[in-house]
Structure 1
Amino acid sequence: MVVDGDTLTIDGERIRLWGVDAPEQDQTCRRHGQDYRCGEVASQALREWIGQSAVSCVEVEKDQYGRSVARCAVDGQDIGAWMVSQGLALDYRRYSAGVYARDEASARAAARGLHAGTFEPAWAWRAARRNDRPEQAPPQPACAIKGNINAKGARYYHAPGMRSYARTRIDETAGERWFCSEAEARAAGWVSAPGRS
């Protein structure tokens, strides 16, 4: 049921916890002079805390990948609040408007979890990795059109030579894909990215 520190699967549906951002699975942090896999620690702590308890969720919105973003609870306790108060996730102020800011301040003051050492917020860690990725090669040379889903869920295709082609990355696990022609992309529901030149 726990995918990672801010994602659950319930009845086969992937649910992103609203308003919090936990370290990524392969992210490392540092405490007591040692690196440790803080993403794995967050996931395991959430798994143990939930145990066999029933989880209830109320959807707030859909994310750019079509996943449900929800506030979830165990025995009436908000999972996001628990994760942040334990120092296992951060208040994702970009989306939460600071709902979990007090929980984060409490964890920081008590040096719980991430706050017991040094770490990079998961949102900054992901951005740095995106910027460091080498150019992607299509699975087949003739199929070099990138079908990308933006942060608002819009589906754009990027053909070689288009302004944003080189910096566009395809994440097939998020529903993005490669196309062999613009006609194929349009037939699948993608539209040409703004600014073709």
Structure 2
Amino acid sequence: MRVLLAVASFGIMGLATSAAAIDMCGSGPRVNCVVDGDTFWLDGQKYRAFGYDTPEPQTNICGGDVERQLASQASRRFMELLNTTEITLEPRGEDRYGRILVVIRSDGEDIADILVREGLARYYPDGEEFWCH
């Protein structure tokens, strides 16, 4: 995985330290792994994608088994994009859970647009949680 971190305050780009493949998070330490379709760990830091939301795999389930299946698909696709394309992270602050908010670009395209187009996500905060119906 090649990650470029865009430093918002300076408008420059620098190569992140991690070149390790990102897998799904398990029960062990979280260093480089995907939590779900919009949250991941990189070099021991937790990130939350900015601008989109994906179904939940375990908690706050409103869509039952359909949501869980879609969450699994979204997580796998997110992991695939992180591992197979050039990723750019553009910091947008921090959320209430202490995660760094980032716009994530895959080969220059916002991952939000990719996942929404593929039916795996909704734009946040204005998109409808279609998996709840």
TM-score of the alignment, normalized to the shorter chain, above 0.5 = yes
Q: 1:29, 1:37 within 8 Å by CA — same for their partners in 2?
A: yes
Gaps of 5+ in 1: 95-100, 105-113, 122-197
Runs of 4+ with deviation above 3 angstroms: 27-30
TM-score (norm 1): 0.43
Find the partner of 2:124 among 92, 99, 102: 92
Gaps of 5+ in 2: 1-32
Identity %: 31
1:37 counterpart SS class:
helix
* Aligned-pair CA distance for 1:51: 2.7
2:102 counterpart SS class:
strand
* Greater RCO structure (CA 8 Å; 6+ sep): 2
TM-score (norm 2): 0.61
* Aligned-pair CA distance for 1:29: 4.8
Tell me the distance in 2 between the aligned counterparts of 1:36 and 1:7.
16
Tell me the distance in 1 between the aligned counterparts of 2:99 and 2:68.
29
2:132 counterpart SS class:
coil
Q: State the superposition RMSD in angstroms.
A: 2.6
**Equivalenced residues, count:** 97
Q: 1:22, 1:89 within 8 Å by CA — same for their partners in 2?
A: yes
* Aligned-pair CA distance for 1:48: 2.2
Q: 1:7, 1:15 within 8 Å by CA — same for their partners in 2?
A: yes
